[in-house]
Amino acid sequence: MAKGIDKRLDIAWSKAVKIRDGFECRYCRKQTTLNSHHIFTRQNRTTRWDINNGITLCVAHHTFSSKFSAHKTGIEFTYWLEEKMGKNWLNKLRLKANQTAKFNQADKELILKGLLIYIKENQ
């Protein structure tokens, strides 16, 4: 059951991030081939389903471009993100990412409920 809810959380998180970002790449404004990128790795459970830990990017700026992409030019991406979102915003997210959290089934269901409410209210 845990895997099933994690999958539903991942899908809801991705959709919520894209809705928040107006279904466009935050770097180039392209509106096709979009991905929701985890700023701090999705292996980090504390921020995995926090929409503040996500940003919408087209596939080029997510993984493929060697000139600018979150995965291939990580330092440039981080500098751009800090400039776009602000140093305080990034530091606050970093502090959260450095905390430890363990989510049980009930916690995950609450997070999912919150994401689904966000999606419904903002679609």
What pLDDT sits at residue 1? 45
Q: Does the residue 116 lie in any domain?
A: no
**Its pTM surpasses 0.85:** yes
Q: Does the residue 56 lie in any domain?
A: yes
Enumerate helices (H) and strands (E) in the chain, giving the number of each: 5, 2
Q: Does the residue 43 lie in any domain?
A: yes
CA 16, distance to chain mean position in Å, is 9
Q: Does the residue 121 lie in any domain?
A: no
Residue 29 backbone zone (phi > 0: left; psi -120 to 50: alpha; other: beta) = left
What pLDDT sits at residue 3? 75
Count of domains forming the chain: 1
CA 39, distance to chain mean position in Å, is 6
What pLDDT sits at residue 2? 54
The list of the chain residues with pLDDT below 70 reads 1-2
Q: Does the residue 111 lie in any domain?
A: no
Q: Does the residue 40 lie in any domain?
A: yes
Evaluate whether 59 touches 43 at the Cβ level (below 8 Å). Answer: no
